[in-house]
């Protein structure tokens, strides 16, 4: 074997050994404390609604469909499991076969009417009764979101991040649907 090849192999072996040594040393000096996850507080305890791996938010870890099933069942006076199954069936039957067109959004009132009609068929109830219940749930949800945004804006005014006029403008834009802060 030529000397230059032996030298190259020796250098490569040395670099690998050095890299392995640095890696082992790095592990030895690594901070043993766990890094907080995105769903942990500084104390390491999970945020509300994330105990079972859910995402924090106004619906906790039940998810949007579970929350709707619960509220709708309560308003209609029927079993939540029956409503949840009807919602799942409607969702499956109406699953899009192609990606949505990002330039046009479906009309919310048309979507609500279609949902009420489909649920009425699945549950054997009057479509108007279901539409009324869905409208009440949506109105309450919007009021909750608006109150949450107002609380955040009030805190921003209190700590000097925003003026009251700026906070009022943001709240007005939110209430008019110009911005939505993740509202569904």
Which tokens hold the place of 54? 């859910």
Q: How far apart are CA 67 and CA 59, in angstroms?
A: 7
- Per-residue pLDDT of 54-80, as tens digits, reads 334 444 444 566 789 999 999 999 999
- The percentage of the chain sitting over the pLDDT mark of 90, rounded to a whole number, equals 39
Residues 6 or more apart whose CB falls under 8 angstroms from that of 113 comprise 131
Q: What ranges in 29-163 are assigned the alpha helix state H?
A: 63-76, 80-93, 108-123, 127-158
Residue 3: per-residue pLDDT:
56
- Per-residue pLDDT of 115-174, as tens digits, reads 999 999 999 999 999 999 999 999 998 889 889 999 999 999 999 999 999 999 999 988
Q: How far apart are CA 149 and CA 71, in angstroms?
A: 22
- In this structure, the number of other CB atoms found within 10 A of the CB of residue 178 comes to 9
Residue 154: per-residue pLDDT:
95
Domain ranges of the chain: 63-94+107-175
Residue 130: exposure state from Cβ atoms within 10 A (0-12, 13-18, ≥19) = buried
Highest mean pLDDT, choosing among 10-14, 107-111, 179-183:
107-111
């Amino acid at each position: 074997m030529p000397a230059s090849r032996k030298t190259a192999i020796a250098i490569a072996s040395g670099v690998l050994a050095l890299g392995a040594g640095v890696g082992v040393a790095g592990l030895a000096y690594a901070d043993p404390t766990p890094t907080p996850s995105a769903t942990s507080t500084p104390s390491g305890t999970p945020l509300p609604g994330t105990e079972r791996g859910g995402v924090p938010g106004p619906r906790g870890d039940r998810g949007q469909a579970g929350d709707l099933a619960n509220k709708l069942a309560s308003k209609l006076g029927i079993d939540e499991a029956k409503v949840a199954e009807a919602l799942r069936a409607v969702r499956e039957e109406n699953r899009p076969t192609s990606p949505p067109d990002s330039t046009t959004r479906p009309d919310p009132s048309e979507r609500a009417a279609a949902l009420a009609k489909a649920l009425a068929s699945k549950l054997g109830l009057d479509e108007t009764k279901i539409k009324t219940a869905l409208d009440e749930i949506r109105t309450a949800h919007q009021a909750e979101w608006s109150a949450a945004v107002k609380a955040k804006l009030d805190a921003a005014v209190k700590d000097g991040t925003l003026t009251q006029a700026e906070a009022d403008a943001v709240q007005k834009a939110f209430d008019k649907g110009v911005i939505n802060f993740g509202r569904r």
